[in-house]
Amino acid sequence: MKQIGIKKLYYSISEVSKITDLEQYVLRYWESEFEQLKPAKNRAGNRIYTNKDIKLILYIKKLLRDERYTIEGAKQVLQSYVPEEEAGEQLELMPSSNETQQTQTVSVSKGLDSRLKNDLIEIKKFFEELLVRLT
């Protein structure tokens, strides 16, 4: 994936095209083929993509271009696809070892910690670059 400056909540189709190195018409076509890929639209009717959408696009690209799946084959693989964000945020409740089992321990996957760390590193880099520009 190409390096982008600041993580944003929403990206335009032209930004996503540059990030994913895919033509805009390919992104629009994939929307018609893959039901999981449904970017929202703003008031003007323009597509607005989230980071989750971009991860899905990159996964579809990997399936089609690197792993050489057909579109139908990729659709089947995507039926069991769980976006990284959702997979990392699933909580697992485990009963404790005491006799009453009233206390439960919540186990959070390591994915959350590493994503949070990466996000904080990106934010730190952004502020460092901003500070350099301002001085």
CA 15 to chain centre: 15
Quick: pLDDT tens for 62-96: 999 999 999 999 999 999 887 765 554 433 333 44
Q: Secondary structure of the chain: what % helix, strand, coil (to 5)? A: 55, 10, 35
State residue 92's pLDDT score: 36
State residue 121's pLDDT score: 77
CA 106 to chain centre: 24
Strands (E), 69-129: 91-95, 104-108
Quick: pLDDT tens for 15-59: 999 999 999 999 999 999 999 999 999 999 999 999 999 999 999
Selected residue with higher pLDDT from 17 and 110: 17
pTM for the structure as a whole: 0.59
- Evaluated on CA atoms 36, 48, 59, 113, the torsion sign reads negative
CATH topology of domain 1-81: Multidrug-efflux Transporter Regulator; Chain: A; Domain 2 (1.10.1660)
Mean pLDDT of 2-23: 85
Rounded Cα distance, 78 and 80, in Å: 5
